[in-house]
Structure 1
Amino acid sequence: MKNALLISHSEQSAVSLSQLLESEGYTEISVCQTSQEAKELAKGEVFDLICVNAPLEKENGIELSKYFAGTTRSSVVIIVPQRNADYVNDALTEHGVLVIAKPVNKHLFHHFLQFTECFKMRMFRVIEENEKLKHMVADMKIINRAKFLLITCLNMSEDQAHRYLEKQAMDLRTSKLEVAKQVIRTYEN
């Protein structure tokens, strides 16, 4: 079940774009007319796609697209008049916003949305890998702190402290991290 946030000043365009999004499998489509209304809605809900139909009533949509690209994990697409497409594309490419020129071609729109899905899946894999690496670094810091305590409190060498943590983990059938945490609890008090 995919959901989208559509920001469009024109009700007629909002209806047309909503139908286009529905044909692409978006089952929940929230429509806003102003950037403020859209920002409020996005604070409380996570959207798969945020689509800005530019221009809006009091702005061109560029700053709003940058805002969503910088504050959400949603795919962000801005639809602009053909005459502005190159300028907007130059302004938003570095922010990861996809620019689509009006009039919207249904076939191209389908491919643009597929591209955003592929890009989002790759991004999530990178984020997952980043989280794993952060956990590994945090675990290594704990283990190194335990080694430091063994070296300073028990006058062990670094190799001895390393072997001690590994042997304790093996003997107690637990992880080296758990042994390190126990060493920290014991010697930091």
Structure 2
Amino acid sequence: MKKALLVSHSEQSAVSLAELLRNEGYAKISASYTADSARKNVLDDEFDLICINAPLPDENGIKLSEEFANSTRSSVVIIVPQKNADDVNDLLTKHGVLVIAKPINRHLFHHYLQFTDCFRMRMFRVAEENERLKHMVEDMKVINRAKLLLVTCLNMSEEQAHRYLEKQAMDLRVSKLQIAMQVIKTYEN
């Protein structure tokens, strides 16, 4: 179930935009009518999309969209008057905010939201890969620490320590990391 936060200056424009979002598969749509209430909503919930219909009563929406792009995992879209679209686009593109000019073309709006979905999925895959690589690096640090202990405490060569960890892992049918943690536990005290 896709969730969106709609930030708009009026209830009337929020209703129109909410209908467009429902047509795009957003089942849960929350509405805020000021930047401050939008910030509170984002603290309380996580959204797939944050759509800001600028300007807002308490600010122009540019700072808010930049803030959300930098502090959330949501796709952020800002809708601005045609006359400001190029300038706002120049300011916000580097932050990953998609700028849409008013009046909104339904067909283009559909493609813009598809683009944000695609971009968001790619971002999640990169984040997952980043996490996987972080865990691998942490595991390698533990294994290397265990090798160093085997070298210093048992006078093994680095190659012998490496082979020892691998052989123990195979013989005991556990991961090399588990063997390394056991070596650390045994020889660091």
TM-score with structure 1 length normalisation? 0.98
| 1:77 partner SS | strand
Which segments of structure 1 move beyond 3 Å, counting only runs of 4 or more?
A: none
| 1:68 partner SS | helix
For structure 1, list consecutive stretches of 5 or more residues without a partner in the other structure. Answer: none
* Alpha-carbon distance, 1:58 to partner: 2.2
In percent, how many aligned pairs have the same letter? 73
* Alpha-carbon distance, 1:59 to partner: 1.1
Give deviations 1:64-104, integer Å, cap 9, x for gaps: 00110011100000000000000000000000000000000
Count of equivalent residues: 189
Which position in structure 2 is the counterpart of 1:120? 120
* Alpha-carbon distance, 1:173 to partner: 1.2
Distance 2:44 2:149 in 1: 45
Which position in structure 1 is the counterpart of 2:29? 29
Which position in structure 1 is the counterpart of 2:152? 152
Which position in structure 2 is the counterpart of 1:20? 20
| 1:78 partner SS | strand
**Structure 1: which amino acid aligns with 2:11?**
E
| 1:76 partner SS | strand
Which position in structure 2 is the counterpart of 1:40? 40
**Structure 2: which amino acid aligns with 1:91?**
L
**Structure 2: which amino acid aligns with 1:151?**
V
Distance 2:174 2:18 in 1: 54
| 2:20 partner SS | helix
Which position in structure 1 is the counterpart of 2:139? 139
Which position in structure 2 is the counterpart of 1:88? 88
Distance 1:167 1:106 in 2: 63
For structure 2, list consecutive stretches of 5 or more residues without a partner in the other structure. Answer: none
Cα RMSD (Å): 0.7
**Structure 1 residue 130 and structure 2 residue 125: aligned?**
no
Distance 1:155 1:37 in 2: 64
**Structure 2: which amino acid aligns with 1:33?**
Y
